Structure 1
Amino acid sequence: MPTAKCGGCAKFLSPLDAAKCNHCNGLYHRACVCLPSTGYIKPAWRCPECSKNQVRDNKADTPVRTRTAQVEEHLNPEELMETSTMSCTTLDATNPLSPDLADELRLFKEELRKEFRLMHRELQQLRTEMAQLKESVRTSDERMESLEVRVGSLEQRLEQQVLPEKGSLENTIDELRCQLNDRDQELLVNDIEISGIPESRDESTLHLIKILGTKLGVNIDEKDVVHVERVGSTHRNRITNTISADPSAQRPRCISVRFARRSTRDSLLRAARVRRGLSTHDLDVNGQAHRIYINERLTRTNRQLFYLARQAGTRRNWRYVWTRDGRILARKEDGLKAERVRCEADISRIFG
């Protein structure tokens, strides 16, 4: 039987199963022109090419759309895929394929369906995540706005707060320093400082203190002494057979003594004030005589203040500048009130 080609897909077809156009006598697969695979075909049937040139009742030049286009316009993607699958099935029915190719097509269609379902689920999940992200961003914006309002209110309160003046801060710091110095001085309430006693290599400071107490009429027992030592830098030379030409090199270090009882310390200080001319000859120390001074032990700050107060008192002709129980006192004349010196500002105020 002679064969012909389809006017739609250009594939060979059997004239017995084909649809023949009444106008141009062209042959078409039924599936290519959207006709049922079985059934009667009207003798006046025309192919799409001839139908589009057919004059409509409204005299319009718009070509007549095929049934397939009209149907596809109203189909969703899933129905459109099913329609395409049916068309492929119809084509497969009109054009028999090999079993292997048919299996591959079937597997391909199943894979497409799976991919489509997977894409649909992923799209739904993406929409859910986008909604959650929008909600999170909105919540973050609200928190940021709240924080900005709080920070703004705090800045406004700080601007309105009146800071203390610099002078007030300095006065507070000076007062704290004075209080710390007073606490340190209280720790030295049982201490005395002895200067002027020559220093030797084999000396016993405890023995010197006992002899000194005996000369002053104060009995000092070893149990009364908590600690005794030379204080100061050790670079000064001790007494040797050779005499240095530098007087400062021969100046001995002071002896610091801490008593177990304050009464012992006070008795020794009172006796030292009565006998002011005590010297190294009284202690049977060889060499040139040096005067011995017994004073309260002061903190480093109080020693410096006491030195500055004596210098200022000398310049201003103040008669008395002394220490008592770690306090620095000054009196210009007899009968006047004693002034206490606690810091350098007091020196300027009192002696100024």
Structure 2
Amino acid sequence: MFTCKRCDSEARDGATCAACRAKFDFPCAGISEAGWRKLGERKSTWKCQNCKSTPVASPQTGNLKASPGNSESIMIELQRLSAKMEALPALMESVKAIQTELAELKTIRQEVSQMKSSFESYGQEIRALAGRVSDIEVEIESVKKTREAIVNLQDRIIQLENRQSESEQRSRMNNIEIKGVPISKDEDLFAIIAKIGDKIDFHIQREQINYIARVPTRNDKLNKNIICSVHNSYLKNDFIAAAKKCKKLYASDLGLQGGNRVYINDHLTLENKLLLNKTKAQAKDRNFEHVWVRGCKIFVRKNTTSPKHCIKTEQDLKKFLF
């Protein structure tokens, strides 16, 4: 290691002036490391710039001749310049490479500028979308609340419908529905009830009847069923139970023409009649042996040893028959 005479920097290798013996690093010496190596034995005659610029007095008179030392210095300088010139093509290639890179950087800069503009446009769109999403979230919350309100209303409607159906069915608790009795001219419905009582061995007195009338059915308006309302549900239930024990009852048993079978049941509402039909169909599919109506309520039982279930709604069908 040594300290450069010109820049006072530490250097590992450099050139030594043959005149002043000062040491210089290669940049300050004005020679490349490769040029210095090529000097070989001529290193001992190399001089720094200060020593080169000092004029050398010639004692000769008349003709001026170049001294051997000056010739060597000139040769060294020419070699130094030659070394620098050797590096010039590589330097030019480096400059061209730098120029190419600068052109590429310019292109990249333009692309980045375009991307920046695109990002700004995308940013505006994203902000617009974010605003729309926020609006949609508000709408979704509103829809959720509306949906909850609708569900609550649906539940409320179902409850009201069930209550109305129960109320309507309750108003028929004392009613007997008689189906299959042919219509005759100037018929006496009280007499028909009396004849049915004779056949099933259970009589309802005339004064125990609130009213009796024919009503049209939903699917057959020509053959109207007989609705007989009695004083209480106990009397109705006993009359229907006696009719069930009779097994089969025909119009001819009542002194009427025709071979129609007569059915005596509870007076169910239309909804409960439809529910009874669905219950019978599903009970048949799932091998339930017993389906019956008592007190205007529908019951099912798998077999004689299984528990009975009351079917009030279609949800009960799903619960007990699925």
TM-score using structure 2 length: 0.51
Provide the rounded CA distance (Å) in 1 between the counterparts of 2:181 and 2:166: 29
The one of 225, 232, 256 aligned to 2:227: 256
* Closer, same or farther: CA 351–167 of 1 in aligned 2, 3 Å: farther
Higher helix share: 2
User: How much does 1:230 deviate?
Assistant: 1.0
For the pair 1:297 / 2:300, whether they are aligned, the reply is: no
User: How much does 1:167 deviate?
Assistant: 4.3
* Closer, same or farther: CA 234–305 of 1 in aligned 2, 3 Å: closer
For the pair 1:269 / 2:240, whether they are aligned, the reply is: yes
Aligned to 2:283: 313
Q: Is the 8 A contact 2:243 2:264 kept in 1?
A: yes
Structure 1 unaligned spans of 5+: 1-157, 238-248
For the pair 1:193 / 2:177, whether they are aligned, the reply is: yes
The one of 167, 180, 189 aligned to 1:183: 167
Find the residue that maps to 2:268 and give its secondary structure. coil
Instruction: Read off the aligned partner of 2:199 and give its amino acid letter.
Output: K
For the pair 1:334 / 2:318, whether they are aligned, the reply is: no
Find the residue that maps to 1:298 and give its secondary structure. coil
Q: Is the 8 A contact 2:182 2:257 kept in 1?
A: no
For the pair 1:206 / 2:190, whether they are aligned, the reply is: yes
Provide the rounded CA distance (Å) in 2 between the counterparts of 1:236 and 1:317: 31
Find the residue that maps to 2:214 and give its secondary structure. strand
Provide the rounded CA distance (Å) in 1 between the counterparts of 2:191 and 2:181: 12
Provide the rounded CA distance (Å) in 2 between the counterparts of 1:200 and 1:351: 42
Show CA shifts across 1:81-108 (max 9, x none).
xxxxxxxxxxxxxxxxxxxxxxxxxxxx
The one of 200, 207, 210 aligned to 1:216: 200
Provide the rounded CA distance (Å) in 2 between the counterparts of 1:317 and 1:165: 41
Aligned to 1:134: none
* Closer, same or farther: CA 326–234 of 1 in aligned 2, 3 Å: closer
Provide the rounded CA distance (Å) in 1 between the counterparts of 2:172 and 2:179: 17
Provide the rounded CA distance (Å) in 1 between the counterparts of 2:204 and 2:171: 21
Show CA shifts across 1:5-58 (max 9, x none).
xxxxxxxxxxxxxxxxxxxxxxxxxxxxxxxxxxxxxxxxxxxxxxxxxxxxxx
Provide the rounded CA distance (Å) in 1 between the counterparts of 2:157 and 2:218: 35
* Closer, same or farther: CA 176–270 of 1 in aligned 2, 3 Å: same
Structure 2 unaligned spans of 5+: 1-140
* Closer, same or farther: CA 331–166 of 1 in aligned 2, 3 Å: farther
User: How much does 1:181 deviate?
Assistant: 1.3
Aligned to 1:351: 321
Find the residue that maps to 2:299 and give its secondary structure. strand
User: How much does 1:188 deviate?
Assistant: 0.9
Show CA shifts across 1:206-263 (max 9, x none).
21111111221122221111111111159969xxxxxxxxxxx7xx321110012333
The CA RMSD measured in Å over matched residues stands at 2.8
User: How much does 1:199 deviate?
Assistant: 1.1
Show CA shifts across 1:99-118 (max 9, x none).
xxxxxxxxxxxxxxxxxxxx
TM-score using structure 1 length: 0.46
Identity %: 24
Instruction: Read off the aligned partner of 2:203 and give its amino acid letter.
Output: N
Provide the rounded CA distance (Å) in 2 between the counterparts of 1:325 and 1:203: 29
Aligned to 2:80: none
- Aligned residues between the structures: 181
Instruction: Read off the aligned partner of 1:265 and give its amino acid letter.
Output: K
Instruction: Read off the aligned partner of 1:329 and give its amino acid letter.
Output: F
Q: Is the 8 A contact 2:237 2:295 kept in 1?
A: no
User: How much does 1:166 deviate?
Assistant: 5.0
Provide the rounded CA distance (Å) in 2 between the counterparts of 1:184 and 1:196: 24
Show CA shifts across 1:298-347 (max 9, x none).
11111111111111111222111111111111112222222222222222
Q: Is the 8 A contact 1:178 1:342 kept in 2?
A: no
Q: Is the 8 A contact 1:269 1:294 kept in 2?
A: yes
